[in-house]
């Protein structure tokens, strides 16, 4: 149970008792999708009896952000600043890693949130869509943790150093139960996730020279929105 507790303490603000050594999770980062099931189920329960699609979409997104402590959303904001910065790679990295939020941060947050909000309203049952989106967003960051070469030391470099290629298989297997709910939805969500991961890996290497925690967090938020849009277009 310690790896699961460490995972949930890292990914959520749920009151789970005494802190568990982060290393229990760091050596098993393929467990990320389990946090997606937990957060996604909480959000699904929160919206299950809400008849208004717009209100349900807003509550679903608010729930996943609040339960996760906006941890990955913070990465999206920083990534937006780095993405919009002009100049050398060093200037982009500096813009992404400083503490000030600029226009790029605001634009990234608005675009991704608006896409997710609009998509949820037409993605079928919202409780199913948010569950799929949260699990696959966690699958995306598990892939990024394993595949993304770090450009600086930090949490991502530590997790990446502990990861092994087989983690890709383990993480994917944890997402497979969603196929029992709907195979077409599963296929659409998987395709969207792989596209987002591939784009983020290529973009981060080109712009920043690698991946850090901000890029991973941004990948999570973009993957969630991408999965929701894919389900809405299905």
- 159-168 pLDDT per residue, tens: 999 999 999 9
pLDDT of residue 36: 97
- Please report how the helices 103-120 and 71-84 are oriented relative to each other, as an axis angle in degrees rounded to 10: 130
pTM of the predicted model as reported, rounded to 2 decimal places = 0.95
Cα separation of 23 and 3, whole Å?
Answer: 8
Domain ranges of the chain: 2-233
How does pLDDT run across 125-171, given as a tens digit for each residue?
A: 999 999 999 999 999 999 999 999 999 899 999 999 999 999 999 99
Distance CA 56, CA 78 (A): 28
């Amino acid at each position: 149970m310690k790896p699961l507790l460490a995972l949930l303490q890292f990914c959520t603000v749920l009151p789970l008792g005494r802190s568990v050594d982060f290393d229990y999770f760091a050596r098993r980062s393929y467990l990320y999708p389990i946090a997606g099931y937990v957060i996604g189920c909480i959000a699904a329960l929160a919206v299950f009896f809400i008849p208004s699609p717009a209100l349900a979409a807003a509550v679903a997104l608010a729930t996943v952000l609040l339960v996760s402590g906006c941890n990955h959303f913070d990465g999206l904001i920083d990534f937006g600043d780095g993405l919009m910065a002009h100049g050398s790679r060093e200037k982009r990295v500096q813009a992404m890693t400083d503490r000030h939020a600029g226009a790029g941060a605001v634009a990234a947050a608005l675009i991704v949130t608006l896409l997710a909000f609009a998509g949820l309203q037409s993605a079928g049952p919202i409780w199913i869509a948010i569950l799929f989106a949260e699990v696959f967003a966690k699958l995306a960051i598990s892939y990024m943790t394993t595949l993304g070469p770090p450009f600086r030391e930090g949490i991502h470099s530590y997790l990446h150093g502990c990861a092994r290629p087989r983690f890709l298989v383990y993480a994917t297997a944890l997402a497979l139960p969603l196929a029992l709910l709907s195979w077409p939805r599963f296929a659409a969500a998987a395709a969207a996730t792989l596209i987002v991961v591939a784009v983020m890996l290529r973009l981060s290497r080109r712009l920043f020279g690698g991946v850090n925690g901000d890029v991973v967090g941004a990948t999570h938020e973009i993957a969630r929105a991408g999965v929701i849009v894919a389900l809405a277009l299905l």
